[in-house]
Amino acid sequence: MSVFHLKYRPQRIEDLDLESVAKLLKKMLGDKNMPQSFLFSGPKGAGKTSAARIVARAVNCLNPEGVEPCNECANCREILNNSSLDILEIDAASNRGIDDIRNLKENAYLLPTKLNKKVFIIDEVHMLTKEAFNALLKLIEEPPKQTIFILCTTDEGKIPETVLSRLVNIEFHKGGKEELNGSLKKIIEGEKIKIDKDSIELILSKSDGSFRNLQKTFNEIFLQFGQNIVLEDVQNFFIAKSGEYNEEEFENDLANKKGKIILMRLEKMAEKGVDFSAYRQRLLAYFQQKLLTCLGVGNLADRSKLNLVDLKRWFNLLIVAGKQEKDAFIDQLPLQLAVVEFLGDDNDKGGEGLQSRPKEEFVVDGLSIIKVEDVEQGWVKVLTAVKPFNHSVEAFLRSCRPKMVKGNTLVLEVFYPFHKDKLEEIKNKQIVESGLFKVFNVEMLLECVLGKIKKEPLVINNDTPIENVSGVAENTKKGDEDIYDVAKEIFG
């Protein structure tokens, strides 16, 4: 999946989307008395961070072409790879205190490790505390010779006057029609997309002047319609989008555990006939971006409100929801199940949560709730579904017994601690859970409990289920062989 706003991020000053900014920067970088402290101010998605990174390369490039970075020399490459210790990007929203600025100060007085100049890019600088601003003030009044500070903000009004007066302000603004058009054209040409003029007009008009919005929206349209885009598709895309719950709102509600609100909004979308498959794909693209940012790729402005663990879990649930789409009688149900699964018992307790509804209600396949008897009956099929993915897991399962179904959790009775440990490994657990899904078409979680008394397995081999086995039994010869096989597979 290509991500346009990363792929088409400007790499040279003259590629910057805003002409006025490009002009100013060229002039300043060409000046022998180049200022050392800048303020890049302006709305989200206007290209501030991209411009700051270009400046970082321009002042360090070994083979500059005029004031432009070559993007090929060792210094440029190191910066492009995000591996230079001399380029520091700091997010003031999460490093806003006096100690953070003190650390930065100490660092600023050390010589660069490799490059000519250290460049400090401080994002969302208006978030700093008053004390932190004071500490920063002293630094930018008399900056160490080898340093450059680029402070970025979406809210210039919150920066103290004393600090502002020490900075050279470069104002970024919303993109005008021509500038937006130029930005889109690069992608259209780069991806060899066929699209008519009216579609382009419509897309531009919906961008709200943000280059990033524009690129993201176009990315979504491209993912949905491919290389041949016609006006009708674009119109439908925006109609669907307007009746919708936008991705950012969705994320906010998810982070705030507003389960009930999310489910209700999805219901409303269903009434309007929104295409849930397309919507889920948009959510996927949105959260993929968040995941990338979490992993250090991408823009700080894209920071997620979910932590990495939750983000990964949510991403997996979205993928599972996609697999359920085909068989779902109710279009919005797979996404709703994903939300319920994600929030679990962790809903907010302010009456917005789901806790008043028993979780079991959601474990439905059309109408019926899965019972342990159903699982027992389908056990052979589960083993068959699991086996191609992992033989040992299948062998472990063969010597276990389904004990009960609790909500959407299948409790499995396991007779050896070693089996329990293995089955509880995330990778193996997922194999079993997807096997259960395949057989019962219901998303179930696996939980293992250690049984005190060894029971005979439900199935000796995949062809002969054993009926009515219960109670205590000696270890069967077959059972011992299983364990031997398993040990052999794991320990070699």
Cβ 67 to Zn ion shortest distance, Å = 12
Using rule CB under 5 A, residue 76 touches Zn ion: yes
- Can you name the residues that pair with 151 across neighbouring β-strands? 39, 122
**Does an H or E element contain 285, and which?**
helix 276-294
Token pair belonging to 3 = 């991500």
Closest CB to Zn ion among 62 and 330? 62
Q: Name which of 58 and 122 has its Cβ closer to Zn ion.
A: 58
What letter does residue 13 receive in the DSSP assignment? G
Measured CA distances, 17 to 68, 171, 174, 196 (Å): 15, 13, 10, 22
Residues in region 439-458 near Zn ion by CB under 5 A: none
Closer to Zn ion at the Cβ: 56 or 382? 56
- Cα 142 to Cα 113, 135, 149, 276, 332: the distances in Å are 21, 12, 11, 56, 59
Which residue, 70 or 255, has its beta carbon nearer to Zn ion?
70
Site for Zn ion, residues 167 to 196, rule: CB under 5 A = none
Tokens (6 digits) for 415: 């007779």
Q: Which residues pair with 402 in a beta bridge?
A: 412
Q: Which stretch binds Zn ion (CB under 5 A): 76-84, 252-260, 282-290, 358-366?
A: 76-84
Nearer to Zn ion, 61 or 67 (CB): 61
Provide the 8-state DSSP code for 92: T
- Which of 445, 424, 428 minimizes the C-alpha distance to 375? 445
Tokens of 95: 């490093």
Question: Whose CA is closest to 403, among 449, 348, 345?
Answer: 449
Alpha helical stretches, state H, 118-246? 130-141, 161-164, 177-190, 197-205, 211-225, 231-242
With CB under 5 A as the rule, give the number of residues binding Zn ion: 5
* Residue 194: both structure tokens together: 């066929």
> Closest Cα partner for 152 from 308, 28, 287, 45?
45
User: Least CB distance from residue 71 to Zn ion, whole Å?
Assistant: 6
Question: What is the Rg, in whole angstroms, of the alpha carbon atoms belonging to the chain?
Answer: 29
Q: How far is the CB of 63 from Zn ion (least distance, A)?
A: 5
Tell which residue, 446, 83, 61, 92, has the closest CA to residue 296: 83
Residue 294 tokens read as 């979490």
In the complex with Zn ion, the residue whose CB is nearer, 73 or 137, is 73
The CB-of-55 to Zn ion minimum distance in angstroms stands at: 13
Nearer to Zn ion, 73 or 460 (CB): 73
**Residue 398 CB burial class (10 angstroms; 0-12, 13-18, ≥19):** buried
Candidates 24, 28, 73, 98; binder of Zn ion (CB under 5 A) is: 73
Site for Zn ion in 386-425 (CB under 5 A): none
Nearer of residues 26 and 268 to Zn ion, judged by Cβ: 26
Q: How far apart are CA 304 and CA 310, in angstroms?
A: 10
Residue 66 CB, shortest distance to Zn ion, in Å, is 12
- What is the per-residue binding string for Zn ion in 42-71, x denoting contact by CB under 5 A? -------------------x-------xx-
Q: Which is nearer to Zn ion, 73 or 278 (CB)?
A: 73
Nearest residue (CB) to Zn ion, 73 versus 445: 73
CB of 446 to Zn ion, least distance (A): 53
3-class DSSP assignment, residue 431: helix
Say if CB 287 and CB 318 are below 8 A apart.
yes
Residue closest to 172 by CA, chosen among 47, 296, 273 = 47
CB of 73 to Zn ion, least distance (A): 3
Q: Do residues 52 and 40 lie in contact, with contact meaning Cβ atoms separated by under 8 Å?
A: yes
Minimum Å distance from CB 33 to Zn ion?
Answer: 23
Are the C-beta atoms of 224 and 241 separated by less than 8 Å? no
45 or 69, CB closer to Zn ion?
Answer: 69
Q: How far is the CB of 300 from Zn ion (least distance, A)?
A: 24
CB of 77 to Zn ion, least distance (A): 8
Site string for Zn ion, 295-334 (x = CB under 5 A): ----------------------------------------
**CB closer to Zn ion out of 65 and 155:** 65
Minimum CB distance to Zn ion, residue 124 (Å): 28
C-alpha to C-alpha distances, 265 to 243, 282, 304, nearest whole angstrom:
10, 16, 21
Distance CA(98)–CA(95), nearest Å, equals 9
* Shortest Cβ 51–Zn ion spacing (Å): 17
Which letter does DSSP use for residue 340 in this model?
H
Cβ at position 298, least distance to Zn ion in Å: 23
Kindly tell me which of 76 and 115 has the beta carbon lying closer to Zn ion: 76
Q: Which residues contribute to the site for Zn ion (CB under 5 A)?
A: 61, 69-70, 73, 76
